[in-house]
Structure 1
């Protein structure tokens, strides 16, 4: 499980990370809200631990911002123990709440509980969103999001990006892409594929500043990180 820990008390953060890594978790640490948001956009996490009081962007604001685009489990870590504070944290999108000081075994138990609840969601239901390295494909609205920005997709652009997001870094031939997107309704055309990918690549570049699509000589196209 990949965990993002956003906590400005560096000693506490390192102690939590050390404990969780001993339990088999992979932990990334950020010490302020803006850095936490940037990490969230760049990587895929299974759980996020957020301190309430953070520099640059407070925990509640960050929690609300993440929840607007993702259902990733969130646990708030804070010194605020009043009932109204707990309610506020949950209303801003947190799945659970733990008050400092706490025993690390309690934190582990809460992580297990949140993970179980998340796992028990209907696994057969098609997710309405696909995530990859900061990009979010909204299947219901045909939108592609990056941070707080978004672009609308045509039906064919949506079909194309969905193919690649489901299997990042796979290489697909133009013939395969054409069959999946256009369904063989027209005679196969490499140019149709190339023009559509070029247009979508430009849209994504304007949205995120990153390229993502790469031509593979003699084979087709790959979507993912630079290699």
Structure 2
């Protein structure tokens, strides 16, 4: 696996490189946003990007947005910034995951493997037949393949599109998979562990915070109240009816 490490701190970069190399990863380290963009433009074939936010020439959030204009390589933000606003902004500009310093190197390796597995899938969500409702009934399939939600929300799992009152909403791969998973069975409560297993390929308890951040990101992007309902102590559901 080829990793592009964008980190200006030599000490942090050195420690990360050693740990990743021990996991048989090929680490390509740069210390500025400009060098990172140059690497990506050459098509060096990176499998994942580890991105620090405190770079000397450009903020990492702005860099992530520019990376998304160039390629779809998975991006994991690795930073000391822990506030929710920064996490949400990172997801909005295209990050696939967010790890805060200090962290256990084993956690970072697990997240790298998770995002690269997801990126390798040919289709993030495959259309399926409508699931049975709570009363055992099977809803009629929609002619346009879309799923209607509150406030003008519509999810088209075939086209991988989400709109609100006809206006498209840009979601990341994980955000769409999370929303589509809930929307395909409205009214059904999905436990946190089930969502993590199906969307993140992981049952690791440390991903609970990641799930909460992604739910908050979807809600913020859609701007519609009640589109993802929290069932306290259990998980989440898409409203029925």
| TM-score, normalised with respect to structure 1 | 0.52
Match of 2:213 in 1: none
Aligned pair count? 123
Q: Deviations over 1:120-152 (max 9, x none)?
A: 2339xxxxxxxxxxxxxxxxxxxxxxxxxxxxx
Q: How far is 1:56 from its partner?
A: 0.9
Q: Does the 8 Å CA contact 2:3/2:48 hold for their aligned counterparts?
A: yes
Match of 1:14 in 2: 14
C-alpha distance in structure 1 between counterparts of 2:45 and 2:62, whole Å: 20
C-alpha distance in structure 2 between counterparts of 1:102 and 1:111, whole Å: 13
Match of 2:37 in 1: 37
Match of 2:66 in 1: 65
Equivalent position SS for 2:70:
coil
Match of 2:49 in 1: 48
Which ranges of structure 2 fall in alignment gaps of 5 or more residues?
Answer: 125-241
C-alpha distance in structure 2 between counterparts of 1:85 and 1:7, whole Å: 18
Match of 1:204 in 2: none
Match of 1:119 in 2: 120
Which ranges of structure 1 fall in alignment gaps of 5 or more residues?
Answer: 124-227
Equivalent position SS for 1:65:
helix
Residue 77 of structure 2 is aligned to residue 76 of structure 1? yes
Match of 1:149 in 2: none
C-alpha distance in structure 2 between counterparts of 1:75 and 1:92, whole Å: 12
Equivalent position SS for 1:68:
helix
Q: How far is 1:85 from its partner?
A: 0.9
Match of 1:85 in 2: 86
Match of 1:213 in 2: none
Q: Deviations over 1:158-193 (max 9, x none)?
A: xxxxxxxxxxxxxxxxxxxxxxxxxxxxxxxxxxxx
C-alpha distance in structure 2 between counterparts of 1:121 and 1:95, whole Å: 17
Equivalent position SS for 1:97:
strand
Q: Deviations over 1:50-77 (max 9, x none)?
A: 1011011221111100101211100001
Match of 2:186 in 1: none
Equivalent position SS for 1:117:
helix
Q: How far is 1:91 from its partner?
A: 0.5
C-alpha distance in structure 2 between counterparts of 1:74 and 1:52, whole Å: 12
Match of 1:109 in 2: 110
Q: How far is 1:83 from its partner?
A: 1.1
Q: How far is 1:81 from its partner?
A: 0.5
C-alpha distance in structure 2 between counterparts of 1:9 and 1:121, whole Å: 36
Q: How far is 1:38 from its partner?
A: 1.1
Match of 2:96 in 1: 95
Q: Does the 8 Å CA contact 2:40/2:70 hold for their aligned counterparts?
A: no
| TM-score, normalised with respect to structure 2 | 0.49
Q: How far is 1:92 from its partner?
A: 0.8
CA radius of gyration, larger in? 1
> Aligned ranges for residues 178-197 of structure 1 at < 5 Å?
none
- By relative contact order (CA 8 Å, sep 6+), the higher-ranking structure is 2
C-alpha distance in structure 1 between counterparts of 2:99 and 2:32, whole Å: 19
